């Protein structure tokens, strides 16, 4: 039996509630098959389209009716976790039933990810969030207390930091639930960025977007997972992508990937963070990380496809 953490992309879940309700059945079936094969599975997911839909919806409502409140990004992230979690718990529970796994339980844990308020990312927010505005003044009015930047000639937009994950609120209980045999869904959208007040010791959410692959790599390490699997829309990690000498990586090591990163082989905001998250996991003691296509999940675990990353 292997303890496996799976990272699903938010785009794999569609852009509307109806799309998501249907699309989530695909990973649910794959997860049920892994559990039936004897593996212990922890699932995480992105939430980019979903949190954008929620955040923008409240902005639009406020524009129509000023009495309708603007909702801060941490709260919008919490709402997205609940909305996605509702569909995922139902889909995986139903998939377990169909596979005859009637005693296996699924639980969704709203995740707050602890970050350092001194993280350099907070001094240079770069992640755009929410709608575009024609003027700086309009953007500032609709996003009080936020950093606003002009976005590639398309207008002004709120931007937030992308700090590195350090730990998770309630990590001991999360790991207990995992070790007790539940299929736990955790780390949604990288979790809600949360800092600790140095004076009071109280926690509170802050504006930010945590890379979900980094967050789930950290969760995998803390949970003592054997494997960390990043599911994306490609069969393998590629070097020399879209060039005549393009090559699929089948099995690669820390040293090889670090050299490829120096060469600029992986696109920032796309494959680069997935590769870096895989490296982080094996550096922190994981047996192997894998990157591949959702449709091939079982074959990835069986090392028949996908890219395998190991320390050496």
Active site residues: 10-11, 127, 212, 274
Strand 237-239 vs strand 247-249: parallel, antiparallel, or unpaired? antiparallel
> Which of these, 294, 239, 229, lies nearest to 39 by C-alpha position?
229
Give the list of residues 6+ apart from residue 237 with CB closer than 8 angstroms, or none: 248, 249, 252, 266, 271, 274, 275, 291, 307
Alpha-carbon gap, residue 81 to 199, rounded angstroms: 30
- DSSP letters along 217-235, please? HHHHHHTT-SEEEEEESSS
Q: What count of other Cβ atoms lies within 10 Å of the Cβ of residue 112?
A: 21
> Which of these, 10, 3, 2, lies nearest to 232 by C-alpha position?
10
Are 44 and 8 spatial neighbours (Cβ–Cβ below 8 Å)?
A: yes
Alpha-carbon gap, residue 281 to 225, rounded angstroms: 9
């Amino acid at each position: 039996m292997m303890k496996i953490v799976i990272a699903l992309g938010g785009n794999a879940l569609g852009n509307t509630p109806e799309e998501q309700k249907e699309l989530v059945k695909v990973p649910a079936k794959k997860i049920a098959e892994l559990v039936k094969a004897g593996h212990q599975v922890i699932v995480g997911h992105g939430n980019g389209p979903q949190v954008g839909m929620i955040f923008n919806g409240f902005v639009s409502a406020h524009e129509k009716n000023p009495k309708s409140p603007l909702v801060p990004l941490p709260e919008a992230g919490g709402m997205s976790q609940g909305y996605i979690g509702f569909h995922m718990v139902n889909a995986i529970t139903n998939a377990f039933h169909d596979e005859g796994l009637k005693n296996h339980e699924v639980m969704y844990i709203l995740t707050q990810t602890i970050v350092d308020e001194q993280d350099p990312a907070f001094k240079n927010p770069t992640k755009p969030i929410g709608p575009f505005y024609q003027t700086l003044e309009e953007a500032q009015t609709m996003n009080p207390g936020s950093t606003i930047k002009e976005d590639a000639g398309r207008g002004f937009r709120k931007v937030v930091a992308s700090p590195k994950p350090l730990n998770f609120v309630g990590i001991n209980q999360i790991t207990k639930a995992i070790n007790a045999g539940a299929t736990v869904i955790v780390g949604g959208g990288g979790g809600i960025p949360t800092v600790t007040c140095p004076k009071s010791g109280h926690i509170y959410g802050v504006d930010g977007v945590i890379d979900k692959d980094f967050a789930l790599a950290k969760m995998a390490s803390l949970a003592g997972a054997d494997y960390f699997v990043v599911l994306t829309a490609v069969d393998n990690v590629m070097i020399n992508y879209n060039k005549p000498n393009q090559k699929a990586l089948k099995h690669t090591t820390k040293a090889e990937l670090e050299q490829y990163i120096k060469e600029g082989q992986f696109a920032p905001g796309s494959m680069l963070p997935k590769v870096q998250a895989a490296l982080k996991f094996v550096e922190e003691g994981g047996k192997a990380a894998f990157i591949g296509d959702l449709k091939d999940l079982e074959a990835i675990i069986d090392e028949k496809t996908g890219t395998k990353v190991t320390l050496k």
